[in-house]
Structure 1
Amino acid sequence: MTVLSMSRAEIDRVHVLKDLLAERIRPSEAAQLMGVTRRQVFRLLKAYRAAGPAALISKKRGKPSNRAYPAVVRTEAMALIKANYGDFGPTLAAEKLSERHGLHFGVETVRRWMLADGLWQDRRQRLKRVYQPRHRRDCVGELIQIDDSEHWWFEDRGPQCTLLVFIDDATSRLMHLRFAETESTFDYFAATRAYLQRYGKPIAFYSDKHATFRVNKVGATGGDGMTQFGRALHELNIDIICANAPQAKGRVERANGTLQDRLVKEMRLAGISTIEAGNAFLPAFMEDYNRRFAKPPYSDKDVHRPLAEQDVIDDAFAWKEERTVSQSLTLQYDKVLFILEPNEVTSTLARQRVTVFDYPDGRLVIKHRGRALPYRTFDKVRQVDQAAIVENKRLGPVLAYIAEQQKLLDVSRSQKAPRRRGQGASLFKAG
């Protein structure tokens, strides 16, 4: 069985010729129905009798048009478009080919070429994805949307900064606002800590895919797959969900737009120009905002959970990294060499893993199985020069320090060590 591919007009001609052969219509009527002359009707009828419907298929199908541009001309035009007008639309690209290169093509020709080469999409392909609305959560504290909004909040009176926004999905209530210099892990630590101390623990936070919340590096094999912020929430038994698109967390996105209008103008009227003054102004602004725009929840139940006794919030919101203790009881963190003070606990820790707790206030504690270890930092001022005289009791730490420095020179510094995002050098304190 042969399958023929025919156009609508060709199928209509088959039906007309069948009626003509059955003498249901006359040749003049067939000519009128097919839009051809009587002589052409008899030619088509003769071909149909000889070969059937296949005789009515156009012989030009699948062949290039007689008016098609040569392949070399098309290649030259597309090379010019790709080199100079890759982000232009077909109309503008055709205009520039004519004006600057003397190549005159129809817009539709250029459009077809650009479609074929993937430089343009037709209207259907360019339609924006439709995002269906979803119902709010039922209870306060069930889902808290968090986001940052970098903006000139103080206009020309102060620096550009970031506003960290916590908004309840069930009510659109502003739960917490905090100005910060950047969207850093330590800033989110401080804002989240203040939120938990005021309201308790929500069921989940809903965020974007920023590196603070999610490991975005493709093929990352080191670590446990958690960011520092994700690890802190996991320790406190709080989930974090990352939205696939900004539209998915529309409540906080729309709130950001309102805040960039109303909050900026309110602070202008109040003469506020610093982050500290702005943070002091935010509680009163939030109260007025929620009175105007917050919605009542479907359920009166508040599902925030109080902080439990086992929730050590100071340790949860500290930057934590593991290190291996060397044979000389030293370890390195953030380009600083730490020497564990020898005692009955530390003397057995050679080649053991310890955890460095880097607190937002600058304190640094080294722990092993929850126990803080005594340590001192290696005195860089007293580090040895070539052929320097070194006391025997300091020889071990000095050699360990030299070996560590040589490794740093031979190999680029690990990506894991200097990740103290948002914490200035002046905050670092040893001990």
Structure 2
Amino acid sequence: MSERELKRIEVLSKVIERRISTASGAKILGLTVRQTQRLLRTFQDDGAAALRHKARGRCSNNRIVDNVRDFVLELIREHYVDFGPTLVREKLLERHQIAVSKETLRKWMTEAAIWTSRRERKRQIHQPRGRRDCFGELVQIDGSHHWWFESRGPKCALLVYIDDATGKLLHLRFAGSENTFDYLIATKAYLQEWGKPISFYSDKHGVFRTTHGSEKDRTTGLTQFGRALYELNIDIICANSPQAKGRVERANQTLQDRLVKELRLRGISTIEAANAYAAEFATDFNARFGKEPRNPKDMHRPLADHENLDSAMCRKEMRTLSQALTLRYDKVLFILDPSVFAKRLAGKKVVVCDYPDGRLEIMEGSTSLPYRTFDKLRSVHRSEIVENKRLDEALAMVAEMQAGRELTRSQHGPRRTGQANHLFGIPDGSQSNGYQKRGRKPGRRTDFMNDPAVIARREQALAGLLAAE
């Protein structure tokens, strides 16, 4: 029996023994006098068992059947495994027309070990991991965004390569940001100096890991950087937490203290000058903090005969040639020279290799196909239009609209920092048809289009066209 029922038995027994009055007993139980009198008659006629709740042991009339509960849990595991009970309730009602209260869902998800309340979540335990035995067995890589030049220069990123077994800095590179091209350049320099390590250990930055892989591609789930390592037979491991790659994280803290001060003493304020000094700093750092590995064997491997470092360390995308031997890449139309070999490739796939230094090649196997480009973003030149009294004002308006906006490439296209445009040889960041610097937002066209003078001129030109018709 419950505690409340036992209390009722005790109070009613005192009322029967006339130790307290019925009104006093009702006050103790928190009931009315009439309800206490009914309980007293029931207790005298049928005994203590009659005070038990009549619905005890019976299923509720509003109880949800087990089949519905199992079906809902299956939907949660399939679609909403990382959702909270409140959001799950909304999605079940919105997408599956199933109405279940959030507290019921919370109970079900807790019993099924899908959901743990914040109060019950325990702090994660990160136990220390021993160093690897051999030099080159595991190399941790990370990018550290910091004011490396303090107020003397812009904020930038330092790409750090550190050996897990010895704690030695193997390569440092300053870059405007963590991007694929700078990681490819830094990794290529590392491989040329040390050789191929067994594996790289990184975080889950978008350069190293993607969740949008193609089911038809054997390199599913790999980024351009991961694909380059795959071609060179180098593994990449993505850590689940910063603590897992604590070696490079602690090195970043040391660098943000010592390296910043060394750059200040030498008056270095540019990325180019800092990259020139990075090797000297790494040598001094390794002499002070480097450790000897437990096993003296060097696990770095030389490049195999069939491995081309320059070909691997680039951005590669598949494109299908049209029947006119053309393809599009980053809003540029590439027209292949109609050679006998190229004509046989019409309708077939080729590989566009975009190199970090700005070069671009269209490859079929090991053959580079010559091409010319047609830039679809180039402006209409006023001098190339034949004079026409009907179109004169309209073309003047178009020319002014083109002058008031910045031409940008695709938002998903490759971005470089401090490198020339591989299509037209224009330095990055110019106002012409080159790539925009990473981080720079293109000028908003809507601000120009809403200008009153432009609106009036556009209406005047359209009125002239209608009148001419």
CA distance in 2, matches of 1:10, 1:292: 76
1:144 to 131, 139, 142: 139
Give ranges in structure 2 of 5+ residues lacking alignment.
11-42, 54-105, 108-115, 387-408, 426-469
Pair 187,157 (structure 1): closer, same or farther in 2 beyond 3 Å: same
* Aligned partners of 1:200 and 1:304 also within 8 Å: yes
AA partner of residue 225 (structure 2) = F
Distance 2:5 2:151 in 1: 71
1:332 aligns with 2:300: no
CA contact (8 A) 1:363 1:430 kept: no
TM-aligned CA distance change 1:347 to 1:272, over 3 Å: same
Match of 1:157 among 137, 143, 152: 152
User: Does the CA contact (< 8 Å) of 2:357 and 2:420 recur in 1?
Assistant: no
Assess, with a 3 A threshold, how the Cα gap between structure 1 residues 52 and 261 changes in structure 2: closer, same or farther. Answer: farther
Return closer, same or farther for 1:144/1:53 CA change in 2, 3 Å cut-off: farther
C-alpha separation in 2, matches of 1:53 and 1:285: 85
* TM-score, structure 2 as length reference: 0.58
Q: CA deviation at 1:125?
A: 3.4
Match among 277, 297, 302 for residue 301 of structure 1? 297
Amino acid of the structure 2 residue aligned with 1:158: G
Greater relative CO, 1 or 2 (CA 8 Å, sep 6+): 1
Q: Secondary structure at the match of 2:128?
A: coil
**Residues 9-158 of structure 1 mapped to structure 2, 5 A cutoff:** 125=120, 127-158=122-153
**Number of residues paired by the alignment?**
314
- The residue aligned with 2:268 is 272
Contact 2:331 / 2:410 at 8 angstroms: preserved in 1? no
Aligned partner of 1:97 in structure 2 is: none
Deviation of 1:277 (Å): 1.4
In the TM superposition, residue 195 of structure 1 has moved relative to its aligned partner by: 0.5
Instruction: Point out where structure 1 has 5 or more consecutive residues left out of the alignment.
Output: 18-46, 58-114, 390-412
Counterparts in 2 of 1:379 and 1:202: CA distance versus 1, 3 Å: closer
Secondary structure of 1:349's match?
coil
1:189 and 2:184 aligned? yes
- 1:169 corresponds in structure 2 to 164
Q: Verify: 1:419 aligned to 2:413, yes or no.
A: yes
| 1:123 to partner: Cα distance | 8.3
Q: Which residue of 1 aligns with 2:423?
A: 429
Counterpart in 2 of 1:209?
Answer: 204
8 Å Cα contact 2:135-2:298 kept in structure 1: yes
Report the CA distance shift for 1:52/1:325 in structure 2 as closer, same or farther (over 3 A): same
CA contact (8 A) 1:338 1:376 kept: yes
State the 1:429 CA deviation. 3.3
User: Taking structure 1 as reference, are residues 205 and 425 closer, same or farther at Cα in structure 2, changes over 3 Å only?
Assistant: closer
Measure, in 2, the Cα distance between the counterparts of 1:426 and 1:364: 12
Q: Which amino acid aligns with 2:206?
A: A
CA 316–353 in structure 1, closer or farther in 2 if over 3 Å, else same: same
CA distance in 1, matches of 2:222, 2:338: 33
Aligned to 2:312: 316
- Which amino acid is 1:266 matched to? E
Whole-angstrom distance in 1 between the partners of 2:333 and 2:223? 25
Answer yes or no: is 1:284 the counterpart of 2:280.
yes
* Corresponding residue for residue 374 of structure 2: 378
| Amino acid in the other structure paired with 2:421 | L
Amino acid of the residue matched to residue 143 of structure 2? D
Shift of 1:161: 0.4
Letter in 1 for 2:307: D
Number of the residue aligned with 2:230: 234
